[in-house]
Amino acid sequence: MSHQGCVVWLTGLPGSGKTTIARALETELRTEGVPVEVLDGDEIRAALSPELGFSPADRELHNRRVIFLAKLLSRNGVVAVVSLISPYRAVRDAAREELGRFVEVWVKCSIEECIRRDPKGHYRRALSGQNAQMTGVQAPYEPPERAELVADTEQWSVERCVAEIRSVVAACGYLPPQGLAPRGLA
């Protein structure tokens, strides 16, 4: 069994661990010889959406740009690992509908733990009044209702998150089971 392109969509609060998991999953899949690309929300915003703010309309447009890129990659046999807050359920549902081969992973972490981690200082700025549109503080985050996996980063290690995601993607038929992955395709 060979792999097929698909989209692994990691959603969660800022600081929940999406990017760390995405990069670890990328490393794992590359090692197996699976074509993979990470679409990191911050990187794509800087490159393709620098004019956008954080209003609901701007967030939706940014998310739709990521959906477009993920579709291009996945239809060409690439596993597109999307690391994006994507706070609105309706946009994620639209991504599921449009992309088809889609695995939603809720990278779950409490707001208290995300504030404690605060790797980029976003929460510190939001709580001091310097950022009035922080997801989870002033702006809403709508948790998934039908994610294929909930990766609780307060309970699970990065390695366990990657292994569980890998297993779910394989169970969906988008990757061969562990150990049977193709080599030399990346």
Which are the catalytic amino acids?
86
Radius of gyration of the chain (CA): 16
Mapped onto helix, strand or coil, the DSSP state of residue 9 is strand
Report the run of H or E that residue 93 belongs to, with start and end. Answer: helix 89-99
How distant, in Å, are the alpha carbons of 11, 14, 122, 134, 144 from that of 8? 10, 18, 25, 24, 14
Q: Are strands 149-152 and 102-108 parallel, antiparallel or unpaired?
A: parallel
Q: How far apart are CA 141 and CA 145, in angstroms?
A: 12
